[in-house]
Structure 1
Amino acid sequence: MKTEPRAGRPRASSRETLAEAACELFLEQGYDATSVADITQRAGVSRSSFFNYFSSKGDVLWSGLDARIAEALAVLATLGADADGAAVRGVLLRVVHDFAPDPLALALRNATAMGLDDELMREAGVRQARLAAAIASAAMAVGISSVKAEILGAAHAAAVLSSLRVWAERGAGHGTPEGLLQEAMRGIYDLPWSD
């Protein structure tokens, strides 16, 4: 028996409509129990429409941050001799600048209710590793030893992902991810950006 989309939901396919449907279902029945078919049915769109916007149901949560990280990786790769601590921190601040509540923020805030604790930990680790490697490469490009560069990369990348998580868990009205990242990076300043 086919279930009709909820009354009032627009029939037009959009990233936001699909993300909203996915988050509703993750809250109602859990992440693992929700299929792409469930999401498209709730949103009232075809499966192919879903894949026009997302590569998987996990991509619903991460695509916004992934786009920001991809931009950061591209900029970090071009810094060359300009890769000092201030330049790298500026790139990282742009990752979280004006970060608005989105499916990832909702998932971070409601991870247990959505059955996402393990998924979020695993996927956050992937993104943290990508950022850490790019930051370490930027540091090595200016002559910082590989061990120190990897430590700098890991610390800065952890600051980015932790800032987003803490901001989402605190909820609206309790600061910004940018403010939290600035605070976190002040704790990293003791790791000088040189040998």
Structure 2
Amino acid sequence: MSGDVGPRTGRSSGRPRRSSADVLADAAAELFLEQGWSRTTVDQIAQRAGVSRGTFFNYFESKADTFWLDLDATAAGLGDALRASSGASPVRRVESALVQLAAAHPADRVPWALTQSDAMGLGDDLVSSAAVRLVRIRATLTSFLCETAGAPRGDARAEVAASALLAAAATAVVTWARAGVHRRALDQEVAEALAPVADGLAGAGRAAEG
């Protein structure tokens, strides 16, 4: 869903809905804008979408999950992107995978939770729902770095590298979402944010080996 305009009108002309999850996410956004996050219930979202409460829980565990429908769909491809990545080192492979993942994200699917959070009164709920996702992604990156570097599980250097790379990528996503009419391609934003971090980590790795 585009974060630049109202929930229903933010779609590209002629773009079909992917599933009932889209309908529910749109309904949630409309209600959050109309009456605020705290006053909106799952039952109201389901009613607005024209489905049952049970149908809502077929797609989302909580109303906070509606924030991240599109980014969750993109992040689901992280494992495949990592396995298909190439690079001179594990860090470079992570860098490449994150940029490719950003390139695969539909350009018109801007998370409204990042652009209209104040209007919706999301507050700490936005932070906590984002944190859950970042922790999961960080674990995936750490595991990949350990495996490809032949390091033991939970290796401190892998933990630090995963955290640094993820922080850069996440910052790029927020910058991209909030840029409005000046928004660049997401993969360009992510690539520029990751480059100095990956350079530093790669340089530190060479120094340690030397």
Task: Provide TM-score, normalisation by structure 1.
Answer: 0.79
The question of whether the paired residues in 2 share the 8 Å contact of 1:163 and 1:181 is answered with yes
CA offsets 1:131-156 (integer angstroms, 9 cap, x no match): 22222222222145822211110011
Name the counterpart of 2:130. 124
1:183 aligned onto 2:192: yes
What amino acid is the match of 2:196?
A: G
Residue correspondences, number: 181
1:25 aligned onto 2:31: yes
The question of whether the paired residues in 2 share the 8 Å contact of 1:160 and 1:181 is answered with yes
Distance 2:179 2:101 in 1: 19
Distance 1:83 1:135 in 2: 14
Which 4+ stretches in 1 moved above 4 angstroms? none
1:69 aligned onto 2:75: yes
Name the counterpart of 1:100. 107
Name the counterpart of 1:87. 93
Q: Percent identity between the aligned chains?
A: 37
Distance 1:61 1:180 in 2: 21
Name the counterpart of 2:165. 156
Task: Provide TM-score, normalisation by structure 2.
Answer: 0.74
Name the counterpart of 2:62. 56
CA offsets 1:34-84 (integer angstroms, 9 cap, x no match): 1111112222222223233322211211233223223213554788xx862
Distance 2:187 2:66 in 1: 23
Q: Which runs of 5+ in 2 are unaligned?
A: 1-18
Distance 1:172 1:106 in 2: 15
Name the counterpart of 1:45. 51
The 5 Å alignment of 1:134-153 reads: 134-141=140-147, 142-143=149-150, 146-153=155-162
Distance 2:83 2:133 in 1: 16
Post-superposition offset of 1:123: 2.0
Q: Which runs of 5+ in 1 are unaligned?
A: 1-12
Name the counterpart of 1:171. 180
Post-superposition offset of 1:108: 0.5
The RMSD of aligned alpha carbons is 2.6
